[in-house]
Amino acid sequence: MTVPFQKYHGTGNDFLIIHADEHVPDRGELAERECDRTDGVGADGILFLALEETFDPPRVVMTLVQPDGETAPMCGNGARCAAEWAMDRTGTDSVMIDTQAGTLRADRDGEDVVVEMTDLTFDPDAIPVDADEPVLREEIEGLEVSVVNTGVPHAVSFVDDVDDVALEEVAPPVRHADVFPKGTNVCVASPDGSGGFRQRTYERGVEGETESCGTGAVAIAVTARRLGLTDADPVDVSPPGGDLRVSFNDRGRPTLAGPVEHEFDGEVAVEPPVEP
């Protein structure tokens, strides 16, 4: 049997979206198979979404299963895609998104979808990273990084030019370093000359570089502000797949803004339910 999916991307970070009510006996197996860019549909993950339309604004329960078959607690671009998917279905311009990292509000703003992100932290225990105090500009596996959790852990390294970094070589040792009990995503960032940054991210769970990473963009912006590298607000962050904007709202929480596109729809094969 097959189940339907919709394919969305946010600045190139792309996802299959499957309604959580669909019969999918093994979500991890499906993600490993269908996220493969050679033999499957190809994506950075599958978002399983449950839509609660009776609330005002509507609520979406979001679960991201990554290409390695594991679940991630939060995804900035995934949340923006989930919001667009839910707004398309409900005709609204605002939704609430329930993630394992907290509940987020998302709003349409012209061509962009803006998500108020979860609380961020530099606290080592909460990231988690094995350290006695916040890790700011310390060398881990040969890379000078700052470590922050923006819903998921990120090690951020500021460099002169992101294009000069051999990310597939330098990122894996940091991603798997013993000091990160749950692993980490690895971002490199270089100044764009206008208070913003260019971004490249090696993602845990994808185990490779992605076209964009929303929690990574927020990690770069908040770390740059903490290190005094920018006082811009908003902070423009440009991964290879497009342009994101990180702002800080009156509740002190970062917001992530950028475009989302619905690419196409399709169906994927799953094992049918076992007859009693």
Ligand X SMILES: N[C@@H](CCC[C@H](N)C(=O)O)C(=O)O
149 is in an annotated binding site: no
CB of 31 to ligand X, least distance (A): 12
Least Å from the CB of residue 28 to ligand X: 14
Burial of 183-201, coded b for 16+ CB within 10 Å and e otherwise, reads bbbbbbbbbbeeebbbbbb
Q: Is the peptide bond before 234 cis (omega within 30 degrees of 0)?
A: yes
Q: How far apart are CA 31 and CA 257, in angstroms?
A: 26
Nearest distance in Å: CB 256, ligand X: 8
CA distances from 53 to 25, 60, 86, 96 (A): 25, 8, 9, 11
Task: Give the pair of three-digit tokens for residue 45.
Answer: 């993950």
What is the nearest approach in angstroms of ligand X to the Cβ of residue 274?
Answer: 32
Nearer to ligand X, 143 or 220 (CB): 220
Judge whether 215 is annotated as a binding position: yes
Q: Where are the beta strands (DSSP E) in 141-196?
A: 143-149, 153-158, 185-191
> Using an 8 Å Cβ cutoff, are 180 and 154 in contact?
no
75 is catalytic: yes
13 is in an annotated binding site: yes
Interface positions with ligand X (CB under 6 A): 13, 66, 72, 75-78, 152, 185, 203-206, 210, 213-215
Q: Which is nearer to ligand X, 63 or 270 (CB)?
A: 63
Residue 84 token pair = 């667009």
| 35 is annotated as an active-site residue | no
CB closer to ligand X out of 45 and 196: 45
Q: Residue ranges for the binding site for substrate?
A: 13, 66, 76-77, 185, 203-204, 214-215
Q: Residue ranges for the binding site?
A: 13, 66, 76-77, 185, 203-204, 214-215
Catalytic residues: 75, 213
